[in-house]
Amino acid sequence: MYNKGVQTNHVFMPRKSTVSKSTATAPKAPRKTRTRKTATVKTVTSPAVKPAPVVKPVAKKVIVTTFQGGKVIAKKTTLKRPGTSKLITPQRYMADIATRWAIHNYEIQELLKDFSKGFEIVKPYHAQVVKLLNN
């Protein structure tokens, strides 16, 4: 703690007690200090709303073994090409992009409305300050 140019070691909040090592031969009773209790915060989650687990596609691996003269020379692990059956069509992809762009435009529109409302709220105070500074 630093107070009026003088460094002090006063602590205004009680701290958690610590165990100190004793250098004396006879064990002493630990020094009594006040301890601060830590607060525990409980979070309540609704059992009905749980995020769905995200399933990541796992690429299958294949071990390629190279032989020469009947003996194994090298083993190399390579990835197998995934199937294309789960890919979306270009039409669905373009529709998704259009939907996301429409959502973006809506959010920007609402942001501009909020900015204009904020400007209208601040406008009288700005005029009052300008009037005060001009006088």
pTM assigned to the model: 0.40
Pairing of strands 2-3, 6-7: antiparallel
Positive or negative torsion for Cα 124, 128, 130, 131 = positive
Structure tokens at 86: 């789960």
Give the tens place of pLDDT for each residue, 63-84: 888 888 888 888 898 888 888 8
pLDDT of residue 114: 97
DSSP, res 77: E
pLDDT for residue 57 is more than 70: no
Give the tens place of pLDDT for each residue, 4-50: 666 666 556 666 666 555 555 667 777 878 777 777 766 666 666 66
Give the tens place of pLDDT for each residue, 74-132: 889 888 888 888 889 999 999 999 999 999 999 999 999 999 999 999 999 999 999 99
Q: Using an 8 Å Cβ cutoff, are 76 and 63 in contact?
A: yes
- Torsion region of 8: left, alpha or beta (phi above 0 gives left; psi -120 to 50 gives alpha): beta
pLDDT of residue 85: 84
Q: What are phi and psi of 66, to 5 degrees?
A: -105, 125
